[in-house]
Amino acid sequence: MKTKKNRLFICLFAVILLFTATSSARVTPTYAIVNCKIIPVTGSPIDKGIIIIRDGLIESLGPQGKISIPEDAEIIKAEGLFAYPGLIDAHTNLFLELPKEETRRPETMRTVSAEPQQKEKAQHPDLMALKLLKPKKTAVADLHKIGITTVLVAPERGIYAGQSVLLNINGEIAEPMVIKSPVALHVNFTTASGTYPSSLMGTMAFLRQSFLDTEYYSSYKSQFSKSARGLKRPEYNPFLEALLPYVVKKSPIFFNCANLEDIKRALGLIKEFKLNAFLTGANEAWRVADLLIKNANVPLLVSLDFKPPMTSIYVNQGEELKKKAEEEIYPANAANLHKKGLTFALTSQGLKKPDDILKNVQKAIKTGLPKEEALKSMTIIPAKFLGVSSFLGSLEPGKIANIILTSGEIFDEKAKVERVFVDGISFEIKKPPKGEKPSAVNIAGRWSATVSSAMGEWESTMELEQDGNQISGNISTRMGRWEIRDGILSGNELALSISATIMGETMDVAFSGTAEKDSIEGTITFMEWSMELKAKRIPDGKF
Amino acid sequence: MTKRILVFAAILIICASLCLAQEKRTSVIAIKGANIIPVVGEDISEGTILIKNGLIEAVGKNVDIPQGAKIINAEGLFAYPGMIDGSCYLGLQEIGSIRATVDYRETGRINPQVKTVEALRPDSMHIPISRSNGITAALVAPSGGLISGQSGLIRLVGWTPEEMIIKSSVAMHIQFPSLPRLRRRGETQPREEASKQITELKEILNQARYYQKGKDAAKKNLGLRLPEFDEKLEFLLPVVNAELPVMISVHAEKDIKAAIKFVKDEKLKAIFLGVTEGWKIAEDIKKSGIPVVFDSLNSVPPKWEDGYDAFYRNPGVLAKAGVKFAFSSGSASLAKDLPYFAAKAAAFGLDKKEALKGVTIYPAQIFGVDKMMGSLEKGKLANIVLADGDMLELRTNIKHVFIDGKEVDISSIYTELLEKFKKR
Amino acid sequence: MQRKNIGIILVVSLVVFSSFSFGQDLLIKNGTILTVTKGTIPNGDILIIKGIIKQIGENIEAPKGIKIIDASGKYVIPGIIDSHTHIALTGTNESAEAITAEVKMRDVLNAEDRSIYTAISGGVTMVHTMHGSGNPIGGENIVIKTKWGKTSEEMIVHSAYRTLKFALGENPKRANSPAVGTLRYPQSRMGVNAIIRREFLKAKNYMEQWDRYLKAKKSKKPPKNLILPRKDLRMEQLADMLRGKMVARCHSYRADETLEFIKLSKEFDFKIACFEHASEAFKIAKELAEEKIGISVFLDNWAYKVEASEGIAYSAAYCTKNGVLVSINSDSNERIRRLFNDAAKAMKYGGLSEEEALKLVTINPAIQLGVEKIAGSLEVGKHGDIAIFNEHPLSAYTLCEKTIIEGEVYFDRAQYLKEREEMEKKKKEEEKKKVKKGGTK
């Protein structure tokens, strides 16, 4: 009897184990990457090395000969390839589809009254990037192509923009990617639309007052919880509730610094309210390097967006200087910070195209940032800043298998990422289809288009931009303005993907046709319908 | 009885002749002892200007003063010709933010039919202020649209518009794009180019020419159809027939070049207004023979590379290149500042004597009234200013102003309000 | 909380000052020195050591190695002070609400504003840069020196009065913005007055709450349910007004609204340093002189809106002659470079003497801003803030050649002309190269 019961329990136990084992994690193959040059970032490079990946982690790594290859390992021949930790982009805009901001005309002063407004209602510090997770279609492939395996994604708009999420880009489904949520509260030195604060000076006062109010709210709540008798119960305030973990409990806050004065503003607030905060954006940080040295305990994230801010003197002293600023001076930001002994992470924040990330890292290196520093600034340093360095940011046994294999040294002109591992899952980088040709014409500009279908004809205007054979832009119709993405002009063959929003629903609509210098013709397909599109170029100077 | 009548008649005759003599006396005025700056000709220290019937009868060191003339002792004072404002809104605006008081700007793009002299308000509070600072005539100009309307030349005294008008139609005003304004953040906005304006203008001028041809042909032949009346084209005829000059408000270098070519192609008479980047192509402007009226110099140059003093330097550079120029206030409430633009230009390189000419004889020449005004010369209108110093200086006080030989009231709302509240 | 802030400011300033070297050494020789307060020295020298004027007189011996400026034939005056501008700021108005006393110009300083250069090209060395006039109560202004090229912190003049911007009349009631004008209270002058009164009454109540709390806390038996009042930054600013820590700078045009505001200041016992613009000040010169309240005006900019339609050019001189402290301001990033021209007009319109006219843009604004100990005239012990002109500064033919702040030359016309010449040369050479290459134009 006893043994039967035991056997039953054992069986049940085994079943449960099996069940949990299968449902808890995807089963990933064991890999042995052989014969590659390993750059662990923490520790010396290994010329001819082996990395063993098991269960999503780096089991072991070391020089050839010292590491034995397990029987169940799939061998990945990596002769002539370099192995690096997967790059961490500690603040990116390129991954998610963020909701488009309603362009309602702020009927300026619509609700302005002499009474202090419900200004808090206009803010959304509780907006979670986690809830907005809708990765762009080609985002995963684009980022893997550059070697980025981990991204921090934050809501971008508003003074209190919301709270960010840290993702390991291990596929197309959102939830399994999440490493940490929330990571930080994101603050911009911008204004609220249509309400207070409508100016930067107002925003500064508003930030201070909201920090004071959060502290007050928290102390009142704790006083009430200690002895409620005789005290009015605290009013629930969702805005202050959202701020409480950051202002009182000192969870991290990211201050987005568009210019050098923003950096000063942020440091002032950090000091005044003893915040645990990071500086991000900061593409002219070098200009206040001395101040940053004094505040070296504040983590610095520096954007690879080299566009000088509008306030910069480099922008309003003539075209020549403006160009020099964009091409030489601002790209040297990281190099200059490094020269002053400052540590920072490099981010893609503000960049509109994934290709620009690599281009701009290369520019930063060309203007004087040592390559090893660039690599550190996208691996171990952001990992440390974000508190994940115990399992990310370098190639060490026990850490997560986020590895990139490149042909050529990383960031080199000719180097290409061949394969990427994220959480031990292998992604081979696809080459562009052989059939793609360079474009035969330049179709950038404004076009007047007529779309005809069984339901009739309608007019629209297209604005196209061309970068090599990549086409992007937008098409304006009576129903709104739709984004044109993923366009390829191969010879005279044009293929576009249009993100059409009709009655609140967004769907992708495909166009395929031919393009000449002044005319475009083709077919739009949408579900089972197809429509003809004919477009003529609008010459400059006319409307 | 007859003796009484005779005596009575004699007394009447004596009184009458005395009265006549009185009148004769006041129509002859002698300004004595002034330091005369005639602008054309040499300066005369302690000279005399003789005014008769509104005109300058004589100017010199030793001038015979007829008996009965009214003598004005001008010892220690300087006598200048009255200044001429090259473009302003006197009489067309009282308070800038109140549209009901602003009449120099119409709606629409093409308005050749409107004339500023037909909207003149002789009682404007700004006219006496300008006049009391030595300005005796002004071009009152329209603004807005592409073709804004016709400007006129007025004297700064008169009870009715008719009394003020010297020339009811001086030029047809055209607006080319202005330079972007320097906003506080230092950004400059993108600007359109004048090519668009020129295309539009060429078309409408051609239409006007066809219109003229059609009218001429119909006149000769009753059988032909008479072209229907077209207001815009009708009022552009004097322009295409080169009878009425165009005054083009133009600023950017590219636009000035295009404007020069446009004027040449269309065979128009022209004056340029503004010309803030003129210093970049002074030679071309000189070659074109087109005179220039400067706007108020009080703007900050939007392009850093042009230098902080670009607008101040501009007149000096153009004058050196031989371009005919004049200054303007471009204002109603600040029209009195006309002389100070000339002085500012002199501070930044314009010859002082040329600066003075830029507010006297040169505008008179540009507007075709130099036979009447612009200098203290025999035969010209007695528009004379008596000042206790250099007329272009800020600290100078104007003591007397004569327009058409009559001394004018130099009190204004400024002095009236001051006196009123002094009595508090 | 306030003491803490002051403490932070003190520590930061100490650190800030110790890390900056204050001013430079300079000797200006042989100029006509118009001290403004102590007469004219026809052929004089000024010695500046570490930014402070150490000596003014004739034939001063030059310390070894000092930088010398030869001012022969030139006129040397104190750096001009513009007591009402909006330059060097990112933004001017917080117009979403009518009362915004909590906003501070200190937070939005922009040292890269080109207008700072425009200012020094006209001999201006110090400005009071302010919140706009869109609100009955705007925000806290700030006084900075126009140290073009330096950081915003280095520009701040810490010893100036703290000032709060008030505005009356057409602007705060939005009379001239038809599109949005009719939506925000107040819409009338009576509303403007009422809302200012309301805010001060609120501030008094706020201060009373804090007083009661502190009293109760200190008492022998503090009540059990004693709670800290909420700290309100807007109320703190107004409380500072009532405590005398900040003074009012009030934008007004009409004589009547000016008098009403004086009444209001008496009702709540706060200090008015100055009325801005005060077009009709000449109508109430008597009252202004009695109350010892200054005005900061345009000389002759007028008739752009109804409340400025009786702003006569004689007002500045007339008020000066009747005992009012008058300064001339620009309130414009263009007019700022010709304040000396405006001052000269006060001689013509009202008969001020040369010295009286110069005071309008030097010592008078300094006194109004509380910086007369360090600026506004050329006296030993004051900062070496100086402007050098090629003709008498009150002549229409003059221009500013050098602008010096604390002994350092920030604007040098000779240098500017040299750079232009080199630029032109370079351009010509490049064009020659283009033509040589056979390129078409």
**What residues are paired with A54 via a beta bridge?**
A57
Of B19 and C193, the one with more pLDDT: C193
Using alpha carbons only, give the angle A505, A509, A514 rounded to the nearest 5 degrees: 155
DSSP state, C386? E
Interface membership of C380 toward A (CB under 8 Å):
no
Q: How far is CA C120 from the centre of its chain?
A: 14
Here the tokens at position A512 are: 């395929």
Burial of residue A12 (number of CB atoms within 10 Å: 0-12, 13-18, 19+): exposed
Considering only alpha carbons, which residue of chain A is nearest residue B304? Answer: A317
Q: pLDDT tens for residues B217-244?
A: 999 999 999 999 999 999 999 999 999 9
Q: pLDDT tens for residues A438-451?
A: 777 888 888 888 88
d(CA B21, CA B278): 56
Interface membership of A293 toward C (CB under 8 Å):
no
Of A344-353, B252-261, B404-413, C180-189, the range with the lowest mean pLDDT is C180-189
Pick the CATH number of A27-84+393-431 from 2.30.40.10, 2.40.160.40, 3.30.750.210, 1.20.120.1200: 2.30.40.10
Interface membership of A399 toward C (CB under 8 Å):
no
Residue A61 three-state SS: strand
The segment(s) of chain A belonging to CATH 2.40.128.120 are 436-538
Give the neighbor-by-neighbor strand order of the sheet with C124-129. C80-85, C124-129, C142-145
Domain end residue (candidates: C375, C396, C422): C375
| Amino acid at the residue C204 | K
Interface membership of C100 toward A (CB under 8 Å):
yes
Asked if A110 lies within 8 A of C96 by C-beta distance, the reply is: no
- Which residue of A307, A310, A316, A543 is the best one to mutate when testing the B interface, meaning the one whose CB has the most B CBs within 10 A? A316
Cβ-contact A498, A476 below 8 angstroms:
no
- Assign residue C390 the CATH number of its domain: 2.30.40.10
Residue B24: predicted pLDDT: 47
Same domain, C210 and C97: yes
Here the tokens at position B6 are: 């005779």
Structural domains counted in chain C:
2
Of B14 and B252, the one with more pLDDT: B252
Of A482 and C171, the one with more pLDDT: C171
Q: Do the bridges between strand A416-422 and strand A425-428 make them parallel or antiparallel, or are there none, so unpaired?
A: antiparallel
Query: What residue ranges in A93-147 does DSSP mark as E strands?
Result: none
Q: Alpha carbon of A153 to those of A184, A190, A256: distances in Å?
A: 10, 19, 13
Using a CB-CB cut-off of 8 Å, the residues of chain A touching C91 are: 199-201
d(CA A297, CA A280): 14
Q: Average pLDDT of A58-86? A: 93
d(CA A334, CA A330): 9
Asked if C100 lies within 8 A of A205 by C-beta distance, the reply is: yes
Using a CB-CB cut-off of 8 Å, the residues of chain B touching A315 are: 186-187
> What is the architecture of the domain spanning A436-538?
Beta Barrel (2.40)
Of A389-393, A485-489, B302-306, C93-97, the range with the lowest mean pLDDT is A485-489
d(CA C259, CA C304): 22
Here the tokens at position A225 are: 């919880």
Domain end residue (candidates: C324, C352, C375): C375
Same domain, C39 and C181: no
Using a CB-CB cut-off of 8 Å, the residues of chain A touching B185 are: 310-311, 316
Residue C4: predicted pLDDT: 55
Q: Which of residues 504-543 of A touch B (CB under 8 A)?
A: 541
Using a CB-CB cut-off of 8 Å, the residues of chain A touching B187 are: 310, 315-316
d(CA B168, CA B154): 8
Residue B323 has pLDDT above 80, yes or no: yes
Asked if C139 lies within 8 A of A229 by C-beta distance, the reply is: no
Same domain, C345 and C381: no
Same domain, C10 and C156: no
For residue C415, report the phi and psi dihedrals to the nearest 5 degrees: -65, -45
**Residue indicated by tokens 């001013």:** C23
| Best CA proximity match to C248, nearest among C319, C308, C167, C193 | C167
Same domain, C287 and C399: no
Asked if A205 lies within 8 A of C153 by C-beta distance, the reply is: no
Asked if C230 lies within 8 A of A216 by C-beta distance, the reply is: yes
Asked if B195 lies within 8 A of A541 by C-beta distance, the reply is: yes
Q: Do the bridges between strand A301-303 and strand A345-347 make them parallel or antiparallel, or are there none, so unpaired?
A: parallel
Residue C18: predicted pLDDT: 46
The segment(s) of chain A belonging to CATH 2.30.40.10 are 27-84+393-431
The pLDDT confidence band at residue A528, using thresholds 50, 70 and 90, is low
Considering only alpha carbons, which residue of chain A is nearest residue B305? Answer: A318
Q: How far is CA A452 from the centre of its chain?
A: 39
DSSP state, B406? E
Q: Select from B392, B395, B413 the Cβ nearest to the Cβ of C348.
A: B395
Residue A456 has pLDDT above 90, yes or no: no
- How many angstroms separate the first and last alpha carbons of chain A? 92
Q: Alpha carbon of B211 to those of B205, B230, B232, B242: distances in Å?
A: 10, 9, 11, 15
Q: Select from A310, A315, A318 the Cβ nearest to the Cβ of B305.
A: A318
> What is the architecture of the domain spanning A89-97+121-194+251-392?
Alpha-Beta Barrel (3.20)
DSSP state, A389? T
List all chains that touch chain C, counting a touch as 3 or more CB pairs closer than 8 Å. A, B
Interface membership of B190 toward A (CB under 8 Å):
no
| Amino acid at the residue B37 | I
Q: Alpha carbon of A1 to those of A6, A9, A13, B179: distances in Å?
A: 9, 12, 18, 101
Considering only alpha carbons, which residue of chain C is nearest residue B280? Answer: C424
Interface membership of C95 toward B (CB under 8 Å):
no
**What residues are paired with A420 via a beta bridge?**
A404, A427
Q: Alpha carbon of C260 to those of A491, C166, C185, C193, C240: distances in Å?
A: 77, 13, 19, 8, 21
Of A128-137, A172-181, A295-304, B268-277, the range with the lowest mean pLDDT is A128-137
d(CA A493, CA C224): 81
Asked if A316 lies within 8 A of B186 by C-beta distance, the reply is: yes
List all chains that touch chain B, counting a touch as 3 or more CB pairs closer than 8 Å. A, C
Burial of residue A143 (number of CB atoms within 10 Å: 0-12, 13-18, 19+): buried
Same domain, C341 and C410: no
d(CA C323, CA B297): 35
Using a CB-CB cut-off of 8 Å, the residues of chain B touching A317 are: 304-305
Same domain, C196 and C285: yes
Q: Do the bridges between strand C386-389 and strand C75-78 make them parallel or antiparallel, or are there none, so unpaired?
A: antiparallel
Residue C441: predicted pLDDT: 46
Give the neighbor-by-neighbor strand order of the sheet with C247-252. C137-140, C163-167, C247-252, C272-277, C294-297, C326-328
Residue A23: predicted pLDDT: 40
- Min Cα distance C114 → chain A (Å) is 8
DSSP string, B247-294: EEEE-SHHHHHHHHHHHHHHT--EEEEE-TTGGGGHHHHHHHT--EEE
Using a CB-CB cut-off of 8 Å, the residues of chain B touching C115 are: 184, 300
Cβ-contact B277, B251 below 8 angstroms:
yes
Residue A482 three-state SS: strand
Residue A137 has pLDDT above 60, yes or no: yes
For residue C197, report the phi and psi dihedrals to the nearest 5 degrees: -60, -45
d(CA A303, CA A351): 8
Cβ-contact A187, A247 below 8 angstroms:
no
CB count in 10 Å sphere of residue A1: 5
d(CA B30, CA B39): 19
Cβ-contact B333, B91 below 8 angstroms:
no
Q: Average pLDDT of B321-338? A: 97
Of A95-104, A139-148, C201-210, C301-310, the range with the lowest mean pLDDT is A95-104
Residue C178: predicted pLDDT: 66
Q: Which of residues 328-357 of C touch A (CB under 8 A)?
A: none
d(CA C40, CA C47): 16
* Whole-complex ipTM: 0.91
Interface membership of C417 toward B (CB under 8 Å):
no
| Best CA proximity match to C101, nearest among C211, C216, C256, C249 | C249
Residue A5 has pLDDT above 90, yes or no: no
Of A465 and C257, the one with more pLDDT: C257
Query: What residue ranges in B141-187 does DSSP mark as E strands?
Result: 147-155, 165-175
Asked if A318 lies within 8 A of B196 by C-beta distance, the reply is: no
Considering only alpha carbons, which residue of chain A is nearest residue B307? Answer: A317
Asked if C108 lies within 8 A of A271 by C-beta distance, the reply is: no
Domain end residue (candidates: C350, C375, C400): C375
Same domain, C22 and C103: no
Write down the mean pLDDT value for chain A: 87
Residue A101: predicted pLDDT: 54
Taking each helix axis as running N to C, give the angle between helix B253-266 and helix B194-220, from 0 to 180 degrees, rounded to the nearest 10: 10
CB count in 10 Å sphere of residue A69: 13
Q: ω before C42 within 30° of 0 (cis)?
A: no
**Residue indicated by tokens 């139609």:** B169
Interface membership of B216 toward A (CB under 8 Å):
no
List all chains that touch chain A, counting a touch as 3 or more CB pairs closer than 8 Å. B, C
Residue B113: predicted pLDDT: 97
- Assign residue C132 the CATH number of its domain: 3.20.20.140
Long-range contacts of A506-511 (CB under 8 A, 24+ apart): A508/A137
DSSP state, C19? H
Same domain, C288 and C330: yes
Interface membership of A18 toward C (CB under 8 Å):
no
Same domain, C66 and C88: no
| Amino acid at the residue A48 | K
Q: Hey, what's the torsion of the CAs at C138, C144, C150, C152, to 10 degrees?
A: -30
Write down the mean pLDDT value for chain C: 93
- Which residue of C312, C390, C413 is the best one to mutate when testing the B interface, meaning the one whose CB has the most B CBs within 10 A? C312
d(CA B139, CA B35): 28
User: Residue C237 is part of which domain span?
Assistant: 80-375
Q: pLDDT tens for residues B366-409?
A: 999 999 999 999 999 999 999 999 999 999 999 999 999 999 99
Asked if C303 lies within 8 A of B96 by C-beta distance, the reply is: yes
| Best CA proximity match to B385, nearest among B328, B333, B339 | B339
Write down the mean pLDDT value for chain B: 93
Same domain, C51 and C179: no
Interface membership of C184 toward A (CB under 8 Å):
yes
Using a CB-CB cut-off of 8 Å, the residues of chain A touching B196 are: 541
Q: Select from B96, B352, B421 the Cβ nearest to the Cβ of C283.
A: B421
d(CA C330, CA C71): 28
| Amino acid at the residue B243 | E
DSSP state, A128? B
Q: Per-10-residue mean pLDDT for chain C, 441 residues long?
A: 54 50 91 97 97 97 96 98 97 93 97 97 98 96 98 97 97 79 83 96 97 93 86 97 98 97 97 97 97 97 95 97 98 96 97 97 98 98 98 98 98 97 93 77 46
Asked if A202 lies within 8 A of C8 by C-beta distance, the reply is: no
Cβ-contact C67, A174 below 8 angstroms:
no
Q: pLDDT tens for residues A369-384?
A: 999 999 999 999 999 9
Q: pLDDT tens for residues B205-216?
A: 999 999 999 999
Of B132 and C7, the one with more pLDDT: B132
| Amino acid at the residue B401 | V
| Amino acid at the residue B159 | W
Interface membership of C118 toward B (CB under 8 Å):
yes
Residue A453: predicted pLDDT: 76
In which element (H, E) is residue B361 found?
helix B361-366
Same domain, C201 and C350: yes
The segment(s) of chain A belonging to CATH 3.20.20.140 are 89-97+121-194+251-392
Considering only alpha carbons, which residue of chain C is nearest residue B393? Answer: C396
**pTM value > 0.80:** yes
Q: How far is CA A76 from the centre of its chain?
A: 30
Asked if B185 lies within 8 A of A311 by C-beta distance, the reply is: yes
Q: How far is CA C224 from the centre of its chain?
A: 50
Using alpha carbons only, give the angle C78, C82, C88 rounded to the nearest 5 degrees: 120
| Best CA proximity match to C69, nearest among C37, C38, C44, C35 | C44
| Best CA proximity match to B64, nearest among B48, B80, B45, B52 | B48
For residue B318, report the phi and psi dihedrals to the nearest 5 degrees: -70, -40
Residue A251 has pLDDT above 80, yes or no: yes
Using a CB-CB cut-off of 8 Å, the residues of chain C touching A322 are: none
- Which residue of B184, B185, B199 is the best one to mutate when testing the A interface, meaning the one whose CB has the most A CBs within 10 A? B185
